[in-house]
Structure 1
Amino acid sequence: MKQHRDTLAALRVSRWVYGGAFLVPFIILVVTFWALKITPFGNQNFLFSDMGAQYIPILEYLRTTILHGQFHLFSLSLGTGSGLLPLLAYYVISPFNLLIFLFPATNMTTALTWIIILKISTIGLTMAIFLRHAFLKTGWSLLLFSTAFSLCGFVTMYFYDMMWLDALILLPLVALGLHRLVKHHHFGLYTISLALTIFSNYYMGYMTCLFSVLYFSYLLEEHQASVTSLTTVWRLHRPVIRQFLIGSLLAGGMTMIVLIPTGLGMLLTGKSNFFIKNYLPTPQFGPEILAQFGPAGSNYASHLYHTPSLFMGTLMFLLLIVYFVSPRILAVEKKRTMWLLILMGLGLFITLFNTIWHMFQQPAGFPFRNVYFFTFFAIVTAYRAWQTHPAQTMNDPQKVLALVWGAGLLTIGFIAARTLPQLYYQFDPSLNNHLYLQSQPAFKLLWLALGLLLLNTMLLFISEWRPVRIGLMGVIIACELGGSFLVGTHGIDFGSQTQFAKDYRANRALLKQVGAKTNSLHRIDYLHSTIGKAYLGAYNHYNDPLLLNYAGISAYSSTLNEQSRVFQHDLGYFSPNVRRISAQGYTHVTDTLLGVKYRLNAFKTPPINTLSTYAGIGFAVPAQVADLQLDDQNALNNQQHVLAAMGAQPNTLSPAGVISMTQHRATAKDLAPIPDKTMTHSHHAGPMYYQTVTLRVTATGLLHGYSPENGVIYSSLRVNGRKVKPMINADGFRYVFSLGQHRKGSTVKVSYVTRKPDAGYHNQFVSLNQKAYHRFTKHLAKHRLKLSAKSGVSWISGTVTGTAQRNLLYVAIPKTPGWSATVNGKPVAIKSAMHAQSVIPVVKNYPGMIGVPIKPGTNHVTLVYKTPGLKLGAVISLVSLLLFGALWFLAEGQRPLKAHHAAKRH
């Protein structure tokens, strides 16, 4: 009876502990966000970095399309069009995101605040569940360790990349599943939790698979009383290893409905490029990493490149050292633990291993994303040390040794942080080394770290007043973690909630006037929306089409289709990297080619411009367009070749005549308009010059410029003395820049700062002959694809008239896998209308837009999109799920029945 009462008491304590594990980080975050005045506790919101540029637009797009019945697995709001499943798999497959349907669009930012709070709080809950069941101990001290993991350095630095937080929620359950697998031969929890991790974010799921292999091997070795050979371990644990392999394969199989389509989609991104430097066995940091065990070691200002964020609370750091000093822990156990810590540390330290951990691609910003695995195991190790009751089991010299080791490592770390990054930068003055230098913690934080270490040492080694000292430890670690989280937000330009709500309504009202919606089959250029006023930091409008729900031409995501990005960039659109393509860089030629019907500018009156250059989403063109090759870094010539291939009048794009060009060394006045970021990147690029080119305009229309050798700093641009710098800072990149409307015969002076004075002789300036181009687009419109009323985003149907000279239907949608076509009911092979080329970062050719062969006369054309690999993935997932269910029932489901029958026999 007493044992039964003790069991019930332990269960009641566990429930309270689980509640505390969730509530403690919940309260810390609520207080922190209240202090920061984050909505709903104030007027600031998360309109910054990836949160404002990606998550809010993507989730708002998902919310709107689902609620309005417009959801498709292909979207024209992603650049010029892309499959949606890779984007969803990478960013939004999380049950917490269902919360967005409880909030209106204007309060999407508030929904994200609660999602972040709930996710981080749930990390604490699952960590408590793991510690309770893996080590069969309960008690309030569990909250120290669960809270340390829920608000560790990774969370502090990357909480706004909230797609990754689900992996931290599920990691303790994956680890608990491995414990159950090794100890009880139960593989169900491991398989389900791993499958959910992969499903919620395949990127973090991949990392979790690597961790599972390491942790499973560690647990197998842990069951050996002495050092054992691998062959012996294999022989002794063959059934468990077999279950591990089967469970892992089934977890992967059950997620194939996401993995196969996503994998095929990711092969179409620019992230598939190979760089040899990412596979070298070079170090990524030095002993300065030890300073990261101290509080407040990192903040948002250094988020693009910094030391791994190891902070988990000073108590955890001390207990990690105690583990290796304690006489209660066998040397063989210490050796095994040290080996696993070293292996995971090498995944951070060595570039080759770090690249493998990051799915064979080095992160572009937000580095060392695998650091939380190290933190998790370090906290587990600290918990093991806690269970040895160090106050009673360690003698005074051992306690002093632990303190000295801790103080010594922190001191070494801060001294190294003070000196070594400066040497790295002097040896190699690269951007990453500059960012790394700026990311180092202030040396004065050493005294705070040492003070906290001494205070925790005193509390840890006091044997009396156990409830009081645990309470004091809890207060200290809560203040450390909450304070570090608060410091971690330093450098964030939070957005304005009232401004966001106001501008969102105004922009949606303007878009409604042109019938904009996500399933429209014409595009809108709305680069100049007012929504950017809600963002206090830099905002470049890449994902406005998602946020405001219209078919646009810009996008920003890690799943951006590379061929469509390169195609747009070859035509002159601004694209700073493989994840971003902007609407900046348009000409009327690109308007026609991409099917842009409206150009909106909320800062002009009237704000709506209906483009006369619109010829439809598709039109008949000569077959030679299919063979046209666009060249990288040659945008205006590419446009000239496109016009010639489509039958435009010669000199529709008319080169301006250069009358003269002058230059002088740039003065402080000349450099004044250039932003600090550009000047920082130009620090080692030599002197700057101010050039003025005097042009004679040869055609009435828009005048555009292009620098093939990237010799123009656009932020310094002036036309006839008037500033014309672009809306989005494009310094350091090529794009077609607009110089305004001018009449034939007029003289125009174009001035700019350059680092490459000789490149000025190769800059190109052309005018679009307005009258000739209107005649050309009017003729194109006669051969446009006339859409049926039922046409949608992923099912396009209509008629087009072909001729002997125009026997190819050009459709302004990228020719990507998944599209099929029929003409007059018969299947036809889709051709590539034009081909794009990139030379940076690697030389590569890509297909262009959809081209459908047609015949003279009326052609009824149907285009259908089906997500590549979705059907195959669904079949594999279903089979894997059925196999898992059968195996679980046979292997685990029968055990309670067998135990019950055995008990009845006895």
Structure 2
Amino acid sequence: MASLQDQKRRWQPTTRQLTLLGAFITPFILMTAYFIYRQMAPFGSSSLLTVDLGQQYIDFFAYLRRTILHDPSSLFYSFSNGLGGEMFGTWSYYLLSPLNWILLLCPGASLTVGVFFLTVLKYGLAGLTFAWLITKTTSQTGLRAVTLATAYALMGWSIANQLNVMWLDAAYLLPLIFYGLFLLMHAAKWRLYVTWLTIMLIVNYYMAYMICLFLILAFIWLAVDRWTNWRALLRQGSQFALSSVASGLLAAFVLLPTWWSLSQSKAQYTVTSFKWKFEFFPPKMIGKFFMGAFNFDQMPDGTANLFIGAIALLGAMFFFADHRIQLRSRIAAGLVTVFLALSLCVQPLDLLWHAGQFPVWYPYRFSFVVAFWLIWLAAQTLTDDFEPGWLAIAVITLIITIGSGYIALNIKHFKYLQMNQVLLGLFFVILALGLITLPVKQHWIYPLTFFVIGATEISANAFMSLNNISYVSQSEYGNYTHELQRLVDHVQQKDTSAYRIGKTFLRTKGDAFQTGFNGGGVFSSVLPKAVPTFFGNTGNPDGDGFVEYSNGTLVTDSLLNMKYYFQQKQLAGALSGSSMLPASSNKADLADYQSIGQDHWATTYKNPYALPMGYAASRDILTLKNKTADPSQYQTNWLAALTGHSADRRLYTAQNFDQVTFQNIGQQSKITGAVLQKKNLLKPAKMTLTFTPTTNDAYYLTFGSTVNSDNANFVLNGQALNQYKTYRNTIMVSVADHAKGKKQTLTIQLKKGSLWLDNFTLYQLNTPKFRSAVTDLKAHPWHLTKHNNRYFSGSISTANAGQVLNTSIPYSQGWHATVNGHPAKTYKTVGMFTALKLPKGKSQVTLSYWPPLLNLGLAISTGTLIVLTGGWWFFHRRH
């Protein structure tokens, strides 16, 4: 039996274990302290939600919880995804991090607390894995290793992109992958490399792509650094290539379905032509090495975030003058560094790192590999026995002086920098330079000073940078989410059929994901191109990565199965003008719907014209070529093709205004397409239009892309006309319904010197004729007996053989149909939805969804795993 003393010795942590613990705890505590200071939930009234984290990712996190805990059917397909869409691309881009399981512990509004712990944990893991790497591959240990690991964990890229929380997985996995490559090159051990690279490919293919490019550069440097002969290089290259391919094959079950998803979305925006040019004056990058070199304006269009702290930066520079390292290694490292530097400013190289697409916001997303590379070089150099020569010190001092001088002399061109930041940065450079060049480094004071200087500067950068960013309050997120969830639950408890819900307010375009209903909006980087095209055609806001169903009409509400609607209330008294439900649209045509419930904040309506998810329709829909740019005509062409009645193409009629008056604007004889010019640029200018409906029909205005809130204010009957701000195609705005004999007044107040009234037209909908068309389509519904997000089954009767089952289920190759038990071909209608040809009489129809290429990917991944496992077992059994 071991003595008590032996047991104590066994449990005593080693220096390396303490180093790893310190590398995790230091960034974890520093960022937790900052977030507590900023009163982030659960420690205050604010939250980490900002920009895309608050407008996009938080909704996907809510979807993740609901899918795993409550609705597995939405794993591969969800009707919260716009009007409905596949989810594999969403999972692989946003949600496959194993750390996301933390979010399962945080229901409802407490999801922000989960985001808090998810973020600080990823910071800590980045420090831990980098410390693991350098303690395994260099002589770094103790506080110096902790300092370099903290510099890596809290590098400028991480601070600037912490809101892109799914990218932070790359920061803690890169050191593990690099270490695997190191073992592959030095000891021909492939398992660690294949394991971690496979995990990275699964967790986030996008960042994995950038890491794979960097690994090619890292391989080149490691091959040169450990050069022996050409035969050895060939062996190393073969092992590197085969191991990398093996990782790709192991991850095929994710990569192949994701590739298919991207082929419908992001891949269609790939840039095919470019110019060899600098995107900006390269020395401008120097500004990003100073602390606090980040603000909101840098998010959409800035230079790369390169801050790593003075110690790491100087260590990387001294690497090239370190005579302990072979010259060939320093030359190879120099070439890699130059290539990385050029990638940060030369357009084709920038495109290469971003897979051929210019980033929409968050430029130079790959700069984390640049920071990793520089800190890795510093770790090779800043050891106990490092003694820089005076020439190296002089040259590096000169470079620092010239770079700092350039920034100081041009400080007005660096909006994210102030002179005190430059001076403070130089102060830390002087401290670091003095420390690094000390001849004696063995005393305990040296590593402590090393840590204090490094951690202080790194912390200051994080605090200064993040202080430039504002965040969503916890109450703003929580109160809205709670109220919308209450409204949704109330409807879903009473109606379990298949339908969609519309609303006239929004916090984000992903509200349907957040609260679990079938909606009409989404903001996603993997949105199929066909979806925004359809939304733009029907008069709703759209963009390359988002759609928002804020401008539905009676026609589109019916055809898209918008069975229920939520509308925010106009509060009176002391609360007048305030609401926890921010208005996003004006919807006068709710007067045609039935009010079925209300609370203090909102009213719920039921749409009597909503068509079912599927119904019998004319085969004309299969041959419709709807190419008009007029959304009113597009809608009626669509409806007429479904009914088979050409008269339904003329449901909308253009109307004249009764009176138009101008104030400080030149007189116009024609309104549509007119250009309004201010007579006196210094005085207010407005145009007032009036009309009085002669029927109780619905009336709509069309606004071209220039008729928006950036150019003018719109006031309808004394109230601000609510409208979602961002749209690039003509939209339709509901302005009157059941208003016969009531004068309607619209005032347009110019914000600028001129306004082009692009596609500005008043339309009247023939509501009785519309009702008749809807009644015809409702005659033969698809009676669903079972349905969920990926499966529909039911019966339908047709009056003749010339009809089809028309659905509002978005078309995808993943949908597989059967009619009366036999496989059936699916057809795409209006470039968006799914239809099937039907025989005369009663038919049993099923639609089921399975991701394209998933089975092939599973087969490849399983086969590769069996081969690798079997080969490894056979090799070891043989030896």
Q: Same fold (TM over 0.5)?
A: yes
Q: CA deviation at 1:516?
A: 6.6
| Paired amino acid for 2:396 | A
- Flag the 1:825–1:618 CA change in 2: closer, same or farther, 3 A: same
Q: Answer yes or no: is 1:369 the counterpart of 2:365.
A: yes
| Paired amino acid for 1:42 | G
Q: CA deviation at 1:139?
A: 3.1
Which residue matches 2:461?
484
Answer yes or no: is the 8 Å Cα contact 1:657–1:698 preserved in 2.
Answer: no
RMSD: 3.0
Q: Calculate percent identity across the aligned residue pairs.
A: 23
Q: Answer yes or no: is 1:850 the counterpart of 2:816.
A: no
- Flag the 1:277–1:445 CA change in 2: closer, same or farther, 3 A: farther
Q: Answer yes or no: is 1:495 the counterpart of 2:472.
A: yes
Which of 185, 190, 204 aligns to 1:187? It is 190
| TM-score, normalization by structure 2 | 0.88
Q: Answer yes or no: is 1:881 the counterpart of 2:857.
A: no
Which of 507, 511, 523 aligns to 1:556? It is 523
| Paired amino acid for 1:39 | A
| Paired amino acid for 1:202 | Y
Structure 1 CA distance for aligned equivalents of residues 403 and 827 of structure 2 = 63
Structure 2 CA distance for aligned equivalents of residues 480 and 300 of structure 1 = 21
Answer yes or no: is the 8 Å Cα contact 2:276–2:347 preserved in 1.
Answer: yes
Q: CA deviation at 1:691?
A: 3.9
Tell me, what secondary structure is at the counterpart of 1:621?
strand
Structure 2 CA distance for aligned equivalents of residues 74 and 692 of structure 1 = 47
Can you list the C-alpha shifts for 1:103-135, whole angstroms capped at 9, x where unaligned? 222211001100111111000010011101122
Tell me, what secondary structure is at the counterpart of 2:550?
coil
Structure 2 CA distance for aligned equivalents of residues 402 and 300 of structure 1 = 32
Which residue matches 1:864?
848
Q: Answer yes or no: is 1:508 the counterpart of 2:471.
A: no
Structure 2 CA distance for aligned equivalents of residues 456 and 758 of structure 1 = 57
Structure 1 CA distance for aligned equivalents of residues 632 and 685 of structure 2 = 25
Answer yes or no: is the 8 Å Cα contact 1:90–1:201 preserved in 2.
Answer: yes
Moved over 6 A (4+): 7-11, 516-519, 685-689, 754-758
Answer yes or no: is the 8 Å Cα contact 1:318–1:406 preserved in 2.
Answer: no
Structure 2 CA distance for aligned equivalents of residues 467 and 404 of structure 1 = 31
Which residue matches 1:840?
none
Q: CA deviation at 1:520?
A: 5.8
- Flag the 1:719–1:753 CA change in 2: closer, same or farther, 3 A: closer
Q: CA deviation at 1:412?
A: 2.3
Answer yes or no: is the 8 Å Cα contact 1:254–1:878 preserved in 2.
Answer: yes
Answer yes or no: is the 8 Å Cα contact 2:662–2:688 preserved in 1.
Answer: yes
Structure 2 CA distance for aligned equivalents of residues 112 and 64 of structure 1 = 16
Deviates more, 1:186-195 or 1:745-754: 745-754
Answer yes or no: is the 8 Å Cα contact 1:188–1:888 preserved in 2.
Answer: no
Deviates more, 1:58-67 or 1:25-34: 58-67
Structure 1 CA distance for aligned equivalents of residues 190 and 784 of structure 2 = 54
| Paired amino acid for 2:766 | N
Answer yes or no: is the 8 Å Cα contact 1:565–1:581 preserved in 2.
Answer: yes
Answer yes or no: is the 8 Å Cα contact 2:796–2:843 preserved in 1.
Answer: yes
Structure 2 CA distance for aligned equivalents of residues 719 and 127 of structure 1 = 58
Q: CA deviation at 1:388?
A: 6.7
Answer yes or no: is the 8 Å Cα contact 1:296–1:488 preserved in 2.
Answer: yes
The residue correspondences of 1:714-729 to structure 2 (distance < 5 A) are 716-718=712-714, 721-729=717-725
Tell me, what secondary structure is at the counterpart of 1:291?
helix
Answer yes or no: is the 8 Å Cα contact 1:316–1:382 preserved in 2.
Answer: yes
Q: CA deviation at 1:216?
A: 0.6
Structure 1 unmatched runs, 5+: 1-6, 226-231, 420-436, 533-540, 668-681, 835-846, 899-906
Structure 2 CA distance for aligned equivalents of residues 890 and 84 of structure 1 = 39
Can you list the C-alpha shifts for 1:244-300, whole angstroms capped at 9, x where unaligned? 111001100011100110110111115522435555444344211112111111134
Structure 1 CA distance for aligned equivalents of residues 494 and 122 of structure 2 = 32
Tell me, what secondary structure is at the counterpart of 1:296?
coil
Structure 2 CA distance for aligned equivalents of residues 117 and 796 of structure 1 = 42
Tell me, what secondary structure is at the counterpart of 1:827?
strand
Answer yes or no: is the 8 Å Cα contact 1:80–1:554 preserved in 2.
Answer: yes
Which residue matches 1:584?
550
Structure 2 CA distance for aligned equivalents of residues 402 and 326 of structure 1 = 12
Q: CA deviation at 1:866?
A: 1.1
Structure 1 CA distance for aligned equivalents of residues 294 and 710 of structure 2 = 33
Which residue matches 2:436?
460
Q: Answer yes or no: is 1:350 the counterpart of 2:346.
A: yes
The residue correspondences of 1:819-830 to structure 2 (distance < 5 A) are 819-830=815-826
Answer yes or no: is the 8 Å Cα contact 1:10–1:138 preserved in 2.
Answer: no
Which residue matches 1:324?
320
Answer yes or no: is the 8 Å Cα contact 2:706–2:757 preserved in 1.
Answer: no
Which residue matches 2:268?
272
- Flag the 1:594–1:517 CA change in 2: closer, same or farther, 3 A: farther
Answer yes or no: is the 8 Å Cα contact 2:541–2:724 preserved in 1.
Answer: no
Q: CA deviation at 1:191?
A: 0.9
Can you list the C-alpha shifts for 1:230-257, whole angstroms capped at 9, x where unaligned? xx64x33222211111100110001110
Structure 1 CA distance for aligned equivalents of residues 46 and 263 of structure 2 = 38
Deviates more, 1:625-634 or 1:873-882: 625-634
Structure 2 CA distance for aligned equivalents of residues 37 and 246 of structure 1 = 49
Q: CA deviation at 1:659?
A: 4.3
Structure 1 CA distance for aligned equivalents of residues 299 and 172 of structure 2 = 22
Equivalent residue pairs, number: 823
Which residue matches 1:901?
none
Which residue matches 1:767?
764
Structure 1 CA distance for aligned equivalents of residues 392 and 754 of structure 2 = 68
Q: CA deviation at 1:16?
A: 0.6
- Flag the 1:245–1:397 CA change in 2: closer, same or farther, 3 A: closer
Which residue matches 1:839?
none
| Paired amino acid for 1:796 | F
Deviates more, 1:875-884 or 1:270-279: 270-279
The residue correspondences of 1:776-815 to structure 2 (distance < 5 A) are 776-788=773-785, 790-804=786-800, 807-815=803-811
Answer yes or no: is the 8 Å Cα contact 2:81–2:513 preserved in 1.
Answer: yes
Can you list the C-alpha shifts for 1:735-783, whole angstroms capped at 9, x where unaligned? 2222232545665443335779795374222122333323332332222
- Flag the 1:417–1:372 CA change in 2: closer, same or farther, 3 A: farther
Deviates more, 1:878-887 or 1:238-247: 878-887
| Paired amino acid for 2:832 | G
The residue correspondences of 1:730-741 to structure 2 (distance < 5 A) are 730=726, 734-741=730-737
| Paired amino acid for 1:866 | W
The residue correspondences of 1:43-54 to structure 2 (distance < 5 A) are 43-54=45-56
Q: CA deviation at 1:660?
A: 5.3
Structure 2 CA distance for aligned equivalents of residues 612 and 508 of structure 1 = 23
Which of 398, 404, 416 aligns to 1:410? It is 404
Q: CA deviation at 1:187?
A: 1.1
| TM-score, normalization by structure 1 | 0.85
- Flag the 1:757–1:488 CA change in 2: closer, same or farther, 3 A: closer
Q: CA deviation at 1:442?
A: 2.1
Which residue matches 1:140?
143
- Flag the 1:804–1:708 CA change in 2: closer, same or farther, 3 A: farther
Structure 2 CA distance for aligned equivalents of residues 547 and 666 of structure 1 = 46
Which residue matches 2:89?
86
Structure 2 unmatched runs, 5+: 1-8, 571-596, 667-677
Structure 2 CA distance for aligned equivalents of residues 517 and 28 of structure 1 = 49
Which of 631, 637, 640 aligns to 1:641? It is 637
| Paired amino acid for 1:552 | G
Which of 66, 69, 76 aligns to 1:64? It is 66
Q: CA deviation at 1:417?
A: 5.5
Q: CA deviation at 1:624?
A: 0.9
Answer yes or no: is the 8 Å Cα contact 1:654–1:699 preserved in 2.
Answer: no
The residue correspondences of 1:623-702 to structure 2 (distance < 5 A) are 623-631=619-627, 633-647=629-643, 650=648, 651-659=650-658, 661=660, 663=662, 690-695=686-691, 697=693, 699-702=695-698
Structure 2 CA distance for aligned equivalents of residues 516 and 191 of structure 1 = 48
Structure 1 CA distance for aligned equivalents of residues 70 and 349 of structure 2 = 46
Q: CA deviation at 1:396?
A: 4.1
Can you list the C-alpha shifts for 1:627-649, whole angstroms capped at 9, x where unaligned? 22333642112112223323465
Can you list the C-alpha shifts for 1:552-603, whole angstroms capped at 9, x where unaligned? 011011111221232122111111x211101211111111111110001243
